[in-house]
Amino acid sequence: MSNFSFTKLQLEGAYLIEYFSAGDNRGGFSKSFEKDIYKEAGIDFSLNETFISVSAKNVIRGLHFQTRNPQAKLVSVPKGKVYDVIVDLRPESPTFKKWEGYELSDQNHKALYVPRGFAHGFVSLEDGTLMMYQCDGAYDMETDTGIRFDDPDIGIEWPVDLKETIHSTRDLGLQSFAEYVISVRDC
């Protein structure tokens, strides 16, 4: 049951993972994480907590991160489909401010490993989509923040009409990338 495939992304430390999945006339069975297999691939991930969100079609969540004690995340979609985005927020990184996006779904059995120091967000492409976040590191409500999904300095190319997207009040009030850069310099 170790049919995992790990693809290193251009953003240093990030991986696209195709995990084990099998199905027959009864349904299906998937395994998205095994500590030793991940460690062999160079990912040292220690599960701290798991969250699941349910989203209607065209919901954008993010771009979220924690400024103190950032979490590494393993994200996957047990039901539905998303376009998942990560942004490198590490000022010392050669890929600082760069982003990558991938389709994750219950059909393609892919997960995304999001290293510490990255912002994460997604748009749901189907009603009733379930997104699972497995996190390495404790949640820190005091420093949980984000950058707006439509920040022009980052320039994410979302595969939906942004006039039709749905957002939380919190996400619409997130800081700009320029504000984030100023806050990092002030630390």
Structure tokens at 99: 């982003």
- Nearest CA-CA partner of 134 in 113, 154, 116, 148: 113
Domain ranges of the chain: 5-185
pLDDT, mean over the chain: 94
At 23 the pLDDT is 86
- In tens, the pLDDT along 9-59 reads 999 999 999 998 888 888 888 888 889 999 999 999 999 999 999 999 999
Residue 169's region, left for phi above 0, alpha for psi from -120 to 50, else beta, is: alpha
CATH of domain 5-185: 2.60.120.10
| pLDDT higher at 187 or 77 | 77
> Is 133 considered catalytic here?
yes
Give the tens place of pLDDT for each residue, 120-166: 999 999 999 999 999 999 999 999 999 999 999 999 999 999 999 99
Alpha helices, H only, the chain: 35-40, 169-172, 177-185
Does the pLDDT value for residue 90 go beyond 50? yes
Using the predicted structure, report yes or no on whether residue 82 has a pLDDT greater than 70: yes
* Residue 187 pLDDT: 57
Q: Which single residue is written with the structure tokens 């460690």?
A: 39
Active-site residue, 109 included: no
Catalytic-labelled residue, pool 15, 19, 64, 109? 64
